[in-house]
Structure 1
Amino acid sequence: MNEKQTRAKYTLEFKQEAVRQVKAGRAASAVAATLGMPKASLTNWVRDDAKGQLAGQPEGKAMQAMAPEQAEIARLRAQVARLTMERDIGKKSRGVLCAGRAARYAWIFAMKGRWPITLMCQVLQVSASGYFRWNAPTRGAKHGGRRRHSDDALLAHIRAIHEQLRGEYGWPRMHRELLARGLRVGKERVRRLMQRHGIRAKGKRKFVVTTDSAHRLPVAPDLVQRRFTPVAPNVLWSGDITYIATDEGWLYLAAVLDLHSRQVVGWSLQSHMQTSLVKDALLMACFRRRPAAGLIFHSDRGSQYCSQDFQDTLTAWGVRSSMSRKGNCWDNAPTESLWGRLKTACVHGQRFATRQQARQAVMDWIAFYNHSRLHSALGYLSPMQFEQRWLAAQRKSAA
């Protein structure tokens, strides 16, 4: 392997950790063996570090001297940044701290693009050398040198992802998530490991009807008839309301779903269920997406959606109103399914002291759902990925 290939294999952070261990007094040969790398490369890194030329540092330049007060300010800034990272890492990894060392390594691997590895190792009370040894590629592995993870290592990754995603994934999505994170593994192996160790997705709770349809307001016809697969974005939207308990009282959420990509394109969180709740969610979606006239908005027969104010807003944007049959949740199944996922992931089992806490949790989940959550109806892509691929295909066919 030539020098260019070797340099491309190791990150700057890996090099710095290897050099740190040598400078701490360990023999270079022992460090190289621990980290699974050539001793000659480590010797070169130590030499480059002494010259201030380790990759990522200014070549041929050592750190310039600074005034004592500047050095103190820099030290304090670094300390504040470190404390901030330790606090955030501690919050996100609280469940992993109770697990074994392999689960901690897997969590570090999953979060390595967000925080420095050495800092996460310190917070999770494991050695960086142990992590690098655990994550070192197995030489001579099958499939063209690709590493085959042991069942224990793979199980640690599964537990870390399960904890990170609050138990939302069953084995099919877990398999896809592992592939997306660069861990090549068969789906049957994932299913077997999860079943053997009792790792499963959280169950959904029984559907509760919250729609107030006991009114005399005009009701729109059902233009959808359970056809929930439009051929393009901004053709068919659906909307609904759900509620979240807090110590301050109920927090109500209205959302607008684009049924082409199942993306949440508008939402509103308020302490009441008045018409402005659903109107604000609709306006958010309209201002963000600028749909052409003729879009269908499908909802239940709740008084908020039937109100004159809401219907006037639909008309102003050239949107046609469609409503499900009375008391039939299956006529708006995609949005009801969204509520099930939301409440399973971040509401059930949680206690929110304030509406603001609940609001933040919901907004964080919506961002995760839109950008990252794998959707079985979309070929295990996230809503954003699905829509981006569709748009790219349209541009390609038009070229």
Structure 2
Amino acid sequence: MSKKHKTYTTEFKAEAIKLIEANQGNVSETARQLSISMQTLSNWNTKAKAGTLAGTKQYSPDLNALLEENKKLKQQLKIAEMEREFFKKGSSVLCQRKSVRYAYMKQKRYSFPITLMARLLHVSVSCFYDWLKRGVSKRTIQRNQQTILVKIAHEETRQSYGYIRLTKYLQAQGIKMSMYAVRQIKALNHLYCKRHKRFKRTTNSDHNRAIYENLLEQQFSMTRPNQAWSSDITYIWTVEGWLYLAAVKDLYTKQVVGYSLNERMTTQLVCNALNMAIHNQKPTKELIVHSDRGSQYCSHEYRNILEQYGFQGSMSKRGDCYDNAPIESFWGILKNELVHHYNYQTREEA
């Protein structure tokens, strides 16, 4: 049989508080005198001091109302903070189809109240629970599997492939997925390509040496190998210092046919790259060798090699990087995939 809870009148509580004061604040002695629980009397005393116990001299109905209003304002502030936090994390979901919003609610249901999320995402609570009962659709399972595959591929390619190249990478592994799906998954999961640029000037056009005319005029489509080459210098940062790379690219095969590395950006650097390309390809005299107007490419040593083999020299217009776009594009890919994601300690390591 359950024990009945004893109730006390407002007048009794007020008299009990007066008795505590008469006992110089001794709650335990007062509780013994009144034969009531010390915990109960302590609670009354606390409320009396706060001015919230009716019948006591400290009691203030206005203060009580103010406390209630303060409590409501705190609740409203808490809700506003949750709304702000929710939108900070889930604003991109708002424009997605309902199944995506339901899935997001399920994911965040232990962090935010269901009713709050439903209101902010413009869905009903009952529809959300109906969706939960139905279980995960085949389409959702497929998309989840695709998302995992895209994330893995994104890491395997060092976070450097856009959605087009990433799609081709997946297809090469026998995974059927459209470019649209890959692009959407990358966007929804914030899978962005890492890009970084540490600038180092490699072209010094401030010289009085002879230059060649631009024979290509940004016409980079060739009909056969060794018809035209594009050459340039780039840089790689290491903890030990800068490392310079000169390369020669065939505009028909799109392959690098010669290169050279050195800790200094010298004439010998570009000459070595050109000599390697000549040794590897053995081109005919009709070959066009294009470069920028850097002092290394205008040097007597470099020009002598061109004249020795009967090649035609060609140079970009001053300050126009598009005139040498094919190899500039190659530098971008090289650095994004093999340079910017690494912190090389030495030149040899790079």
TM-score range, shorter chain: 0.5 to 0.7
Aligned to 1:214: 206
Aligned to 1:48: none
Go from structure 1 to structure 2 and tell me whether the alpha carbon gap of 1:149 and 1:281 turns closer, same or farther (over 3 Å shift). farther
Q: CA deviation at 1:155?
A: 2.2
Aligned to 2:216: 224
The CA RMSD over aligned residues, in Å, is 2.1
Segments of structure 1 that go 5 or more residues without pairing to the other structure are 1-147, 359-399
List aligned pairs for 1:1-399, cutoff 5 A: 150-203=142-195, 205=197, 209-358=201-350
Go from structure 1 to structure 2 and tell me whether the alpha carbon gap of 1:329 and 1:222 turns closer, same or farther (over 3 Å shift). same
Segments of structure 2 that go 5 or more residues without pairing to the other structure are 1-139
Q: CA deviation at 1:277?
A: 0.5
Aligned to 1:94: none
Go from structure 1 to structure 2 and tell me whether the alpha carbon gap of 1:208 and 1:227 turns closer, same or farther (over 3 Å shift). farther
Deviations 1:253-277 (A, max 9, x none): 0011111132111111111111110
TM-score (norm 2): 0.57
- What is the CA–CA distance in structure 1 between the aligned matches of 2:204 and 2:312, rounded to whole Å? 21
Output the amino acid matched with 2:209: L
TM-score (norm 1): 0.50
- What is the CA–CA distance in structure 2 between the aligned matches of 1:228 and 1:149, rounded to whole Å? 46
Go from structure 1 to structure 2 and tell me whether the alpha carbon gap of 1:252 and 1:206 turns closer, same or farther (over 3 Å shift). closer
Matched residue SS, 1:327? coil
- What is the CA–CA distance in structure 1 between the aligned matches of 2:143 and 2:217, rounded to whole Å? 47
- What is the CA–CA distance in structure 1 between the aligned matches of 2:188 and 2:246, rounded to whole Å? 39
Is the contact between residue 171 and residue 200 of structure 1 (CA under 8 Å) also seen in structure 2? no
Matched residue SS, 1:237? strand
- What is the CA–CA distance in structure 2 between the aligned matches of 1:279 and 1:168, rounded to whole Å? 32
Which one has the largest radius of gyration?
Answer: 2
Identity of matched residues, %: 42
Matched residue SS, 2:349? helix
- What is the CA–CA distance in structure 1 between the aligned matches of 2:211 and 2:312, rounded to whole Å? 12
Aligned to 2:84: none
- What is the CA–CA distance in structure 2 between the aligned matches of 1:318 and 1:200, rounded to whole Å? 47
Is the contact between residue 240 and residue 347 of structure 2 (CA under 8 Å) also seen in structure 1? yes
Equivalent pairs counted in the alignment come to 212
Is the contact between residue 227 and residue 287 of structure 2 (CA under 8 Å) also seen in structure 1? yes
Is the contact between residue 203 and residue 292 of structure 2 (CA under 8 Å) also seen in structure 1? yes
- What is the CA–CA distance in structure 1 between the aligned matches of 2:330 and 2:201, rounded to whole Å? 15
